[in-house]
Structure 1
Amino acid sequence: MKLWLLPTCAAASLVLAIGLLALGKAEKPEDYPLTFTEGHDIGKDDHGRPCVLIAAALGVKTEVFREAFSGVTPAKNGKPSGEEARKNKDALMKVLKPHDVTNDRLDEVSNYYRFKPQDGELWKHKDAKAHAVVENGKVTKVVVTETGAGYSSPPKVTIKGFEKVELTVTLLFDKDLAKNGSIKSIELKK
């Protein structure tokens, strides 16, 4: 190898890289996929609805939506009559209107998160995607490539090959339905 033909900086960099490789200290970073499970919990006081997502999309606190929903009388057969539907809507709007929630927005959000759990359905959601960067056998950071949406609780996240590494997931709740319940961050627990 003719290092004397290379400019001084390039020669020094090459010598350093060869030296580090010889010592085994210049391992190329690798990406390891993350696996997401769960994250679609419904609270015991939520009567089968993802209240945290609905409330965020309406721009109110979860407790406000729960209060509004406490005035709703579910239909016995799951299909309310016109009169039952009107009474339920009035009960919801009585609590939500003072928080600047319109009837149209309530309909939009309610329809977006409507689902039939008895048929094995889940509300609209999008799975997140991420990978961990591993250098010299250690996880150095997590990179979220798709934030997903529709998580009502932080999902469990594991790194393939590094299952013992603990991660903390933070969610973003937002009025924007495409961002609501998305991954805000995934941090390594210290």
Structure 2
Amino acid sequence: MKSIHISKPKAWRNSAFVLAGAALTLSFLLSSRTNAADTGAVHAPIVFSGGHETDPRDRGRPVALVAGALGVPPDVFREAFRHVRPAPAGTRPDPNQAQRNKQALLDALSQYGVTNERLDEVSNYYRYVRSRGEMWPTKPAEGYALVKNGVVVGYVVTNGGSGYSSAPEISVPSVPGAAGKAEISFSKTDFDQNGAVSAIATAR
């Protein structure tokens, strides 16, 4: 049987060629940048430590995480919490007092778009009893250092983790004295990205 060849319009062929060329160029540029940073570098595992400290004013409450999940600045949540009367440690609040506490928070936070449902969701997620040795939900970050000639020249975060209320300390066991400064970011839409390590800068 004789095959039939259907010609594509010239304009279509030209557009496809241009798009393919652009994609190839972009791929080349991205790979070139990655290779430039990685060329000749050894990947050394990073150790993340700490990062779960809280402000003394908050008495153990992870305000940075709670505020991040609610989408408000920490000081806004602190001001709202000033009107709350928490129950003594290890006890449950009286139901009426608990309702008054929630209403006090909503009165202050609703103007920022915080709903009753979201306040409950965030409060329940980060609730823990410190006296029992508990900790709010956390996931450790992961990454590696780029080492050239025994010196750390950069860091790569492969998994930002979550639940960091403060920047964790960075060390590279295979490079004594090496250090980096972690940056953390917060998310009001995803607990798994709230309090995550977003970048690491080389120490100066």
Q: TM-score per shorter chain, which class?
A: 0.7 to 0.9
Q: Tell me if 1:66 matches 2:71.
A: no
Q: Distance in 1 between matches of 2:174 and 2:69?
A: 37
Q: What is aligned with 1:55?
A: 67
TM-score (norm 1): 0.82
The 5 Å alignment of 1:1-190 reads: 29-76=41-88, 78-175=91-188, 176-190=190-204
Question: Match of 2:53, as an amino acid?
Answer: D
Q: Distance in 2 between matches of 1:165 and 1:181?
A: 24
CA shift, 1:161, in A, is: 2.1
Q: Which structure has the highest helix share of the two?
A: 2
Question: Match of 1:183, as an amino acid?
Answer: V
Q: Distance in 2 between matches of 1:136 and 1:44?
A: 42
Give the 3-state SS of the residue equivalent to 1:186 in structure 2. Answer: strand
Question: Match of 2:108, as an amino acid?
Answer: V
Question: Match of 2:42, as an amino acid?
Answer: E
Which blocks of at least 5 consecutive residues in structure 1 are unaligned?
A: 1-26
CA shift, 1:139, in A, is: 1.7
CA shift, 1:75, in A, is: 1.6
Q: Distance in 1 between matches of 2:119 and 2:176?
A: 41
Identity of aligned residues (%): 41
Q: Distance in 1 between matches of 2:191 and 2:52?
A: 15
Number of corresponding residues:
164
Q: Distance in 1 between matches of 2:108 and 2:143?
A: 39
Moved over 6 A (4+): none
Give the 3-state SS of the residue equivalent to 1:53 in structure 2. Answer: helix
CA shift, 1:81, in A, is: 1.7
CA shift, 1:28, in A, is: 5.2
Q: Distance in 1 between matches of 2:137 and 2:159?
A: 16
Which blocks of at least 5 consecutive residues in structure 2 are unaligned?
A: 1-38
Q: Distance in 2 between matches of 1:48 and 1:110?
A: 14
Q: Distance in 1 between matches of 2:114 and 2:176?
A: 43
Give the 3-state SS of the residue equivalent to 2:193 in structure 1. Answer: coil
Deviation track 1:27-61 (CA, whole Å, cap 9, x = no partner) reads 95322111111100111111321001100110111
CA shift, 1:111, in A, is: 0.7
Deviation track 1:78-106 (CA, whole Å, cap 9, x = no partner) reads 20121011111111111111111000000
RMSD: 1.5
Question: Match of 2:45, as an amino acid?
Answer: P
